[in-house]
Structure 1
């Protein structure tokens, strides 16, 4: 006697399915970043829809080095919808691919990861979309020029 097939997993609120994550990124987020042993950053990240269908990602914040020095910083990327996830491009002309993230269910979260070779260093990146509506991005960088872990937590900015 065979067992019944397991029921499909329901979408994870508030992210929904992997295909829905891209749309749910639009808007403003607070960010808290720790670069292990080097710095921290607090700021705001905004995903702005563009006419091309991409999302322009811009983060701005205050960076504090471990020696106590502080300064303002910013960074931009372009996010592009892809089946079951998204592509992240460097905000250059023309855009250059950073990595492709395929999102899968991982316990009570959605997650995706990718590796980017920036010769001679390697970036291993992971994204987790959590049930409370927040998400995290971790970049583990190894190589002769760079060796660090950057962990960022994004929370929806209160209106």
Structure 2
């Protein structure tokens, strides 16, 4: 396996600080596209954790933009990235030095993620979400502010 930039000494501290993010949403079920533009911030939490907050505007079709925000709890211990919802419930976990993929089952829906750190400090995540009433892809890019 080729060594990624992650395995070349990256750690939680490399994520800390401010980021600009762009998220493109392709909703095949609803037949529309969306664009989220905003900022994200990682703030240290303990020895290996970080609190992730993002906020920005969500544009869907010709509707007025909506303010959107979310929070996740990250843990970078044991060579893994573990992401939890703001209330502490498990979301996903993956090994950034190898597969970069994770699945979150939320019956009856499935959330599949692929993270790409190969162009650090710019990084991407692609989420594919499927279920009886869901069929969309979100592509998010983060870059240093």
Give the TM-score taking structure 1 as reference length.
Answer: 0.79
Residues 3-41 of structure 1: per-residue CA shift (max 9 Å, x gap) = xxxxx96663xxx42762432111110000101133101
| Closer, same or farther: CA 65–10 of 1 in aligned 2, 3 Å | closer
Q: Find the aligned partners of 1:9 and 1:123 in 2 and give their Cα distance.
A: 27
> Which residues of structure 2 form unaligned runs of 5+?
27-31
Q: Say whether 1:50 aligns with 2:40.
A: no
The normalised TM-score by structure 2 is 0.86
Structure number with bigger Rg: 1
For residues 69-113 of structure 1, give each alpha carbon's deviation from its aligned partner in whole angstroms, at most 9, with x where no partner exists: 211110110001132221000010xx11101011235xxxxx611
Q: Could you tell me which of 129, 132, 144 is aligned with 1:144?
A: 132
Structure 1 stretches of 4+ moved >4 Å? 8-11
SS class of match (1:38): strand
Higher relative contact order, structure no. (Cα contacts within 8 Å, ≥ 6 residues apart):
2
Correspondence 1:6-155 to 2 at 5 A:
12=5, 16-17=6-7, 20-36=10-26, 37-51=32-46, 53-92=48-87, 95-104=88-97, 112-155=100-143
Shift of 1:120: 0.5
